[in-house]
Structure formats: structure tokens, C-alpha cells
Amino acid sequence: MRTVSLSAALARIDAPWDPKIIAELNGQHVKLAKLEGDFVWHHHDEADELFLVLEGTLVMQLEDGEERLGPGELIVIPRGVRHCPRSDGGCAVLLFEPAGTLNTGDVRDERTVDAPERI
């Protein structure tokens, strides 16, 4: 067991859209990421995703609209639901998702992280 300082871990993240694993439990990865701008529209066939906003504002674009989240708010994206995270001013999020879940889901592009770094 070890204590994780979210602020210290966030300080180690330089680039947006590059999630880092900070913990693991019950087959789930707990990840931290900084987001800025638009991501890619995608979905995950086998995984639900939880986004908890720590700093800034996250706009979760969905096919039927969008949800705007601030610090202390979370959203769960059910498996199979197409979504596109966006942050116009930058934000920091804590993510829960099954280990091995690709950040870009069913899409492969330059932002796909096959093996997230553990910090």
C-alpha cells in the first residue's frame, strides 16, 4: 500500500491526453490526465469509463448533446456510447476504467497510448 498525492502526481504530467496510471484495484486502472482542446470521437465496446474532474472544466460531447462538468463532478460513460472529451481552458481528471482500456477506444491515432506510464 502507498499513499498517492494527486497534486504531486499531476505536477508530473506535462502533456495533455497522456494518461498516467496512479493505482490499480479489482482489475481497474486509476489514471490521471490533463486534457486540453478536443479529443477524438470514440467508444469502448467492453468498458465503462468514469471521469472525475479535479481542476478546470470538462465538456463531454455525446451524440445527443453535451455535459459540462467542473471540479468535484463526475460522469460515467457506459460501454458502447460514442463520446468526445473536450476542455477549452484545460482540465485535470481522474479516470477509472478496466486495465488495458485504450484511451482512444475503437480509434487508433497519434494520441493512442498503448501502455500508459505508471507514476
Q: In this predicted model, what pLDDT tens digit does every residue of 59-71 receive, in sequence order?
A: 999 999 999 999 9
Cell triple for residue 14?
506535462
Q: What are the start-end ranges of the E strands in the chain?
A: 20-25, 28-38, 49-56, 58-62, 65-69, 74-77, 83-98
Q: Which CATH class is domain 6-98?
A: mainly beta
Count CB atoms within 10 A of the CB of residue 17: 19
Average pLDDT of the chain, as a whole number: 94
Count CB atoms within 10 A of the CB of residue 91: 24
- Cβ-based neighbours of 24, under 8 Å, separated by 6 or more: 30, 99
Cell triple for residue 93?
481528471
Give the start-to-end residue ranges of the domains of the chain: 6-98
Find out whether 86 and 39 touch, Cβ atoms under 8 Å: yes
d(CA 48, CA 66): 18
Q: Is the pLDDT of residue 1 over 80?
A: no
In this predicted structure, what is the pLDDT of residue 115?
A: 85
pTM check: above 0.85: yes
Residue 114 pLDDT grade (very low, low, confident, very high; cuts 50, 70, 90): confident
